[in-house]
Amino acid sequence: MDENDKSRIHSIRLTKKDAPTVAHLIQRDCDIALRDLKEDSYFQPADDNNGPYALELYIEENRLIFHTQNNVQEDLPYLVLSLTPYRRLIKDYFMIVSSYDDALRDGKPSRIEAIDMGRRGLHNEGAELLMERLSGKIELNFDTARRLFTLICILHTGKTHILR
């Protein structure tokens, strides 16, 4: 197995409990992020070279939990991040999705394009924050961080629980 195959996510699971019905565009974002992460990601936890990795993400008491398992089924140390720094970004994400949905219904291409540009900027900001907060713990490339930011927003739509 070459090094690129080892430093990636081979499976990902979002653990949610009692999640409300998710809007079509949010579900689409989730499906695309999950697919893209499985097909092309760079994810390298510090102090472990036994990838590729299985990743479970969930929220517990306003904290994002990364539960990572390496290719030899060893649990890596749980990584816990406060969601407070993401509060505004998550709020903006749902506002943009709602605006985008309205613009699609109205059929205004210029509005859709403007909202999409704002959405890309929001995802870039979320990815940069995630990369900064994971520095020294998990190395990510920018595209992987953008997709994980999408999933952080998706997780915020409902309550989650710990499997252990």
With both helix axes pointing from N to C terminus, report the angle between 87-106 and 24-39 in degrees, rounded to the nearest 10.
Answer: 120
- In angstroms, the first-to-last Cα distance of the chain is 31
Residue 65 pLDDT > 70: yes
d(CA 100, CA 115): 6
Q: Which helix (H) or strand (E) holds 61?
A: none
Q: pLDDT by residue (tens digit) across 104-127?
A: 888 888 889 999 899 999 999 999
pTM above the 0.75 mark? yes
Q: pLDDT by residue (tens digit) across 35-62?
A: 999 999 999 999 999 999 999 999 998 8
Residues 78-96: what's their mean pLDDT? Answer: 94
Report the candidate in 138, 116, 162, 157 with the shortest Cα–Cα distance to residue 15: 162
% of the chain at pLDDT higher than 70: 90
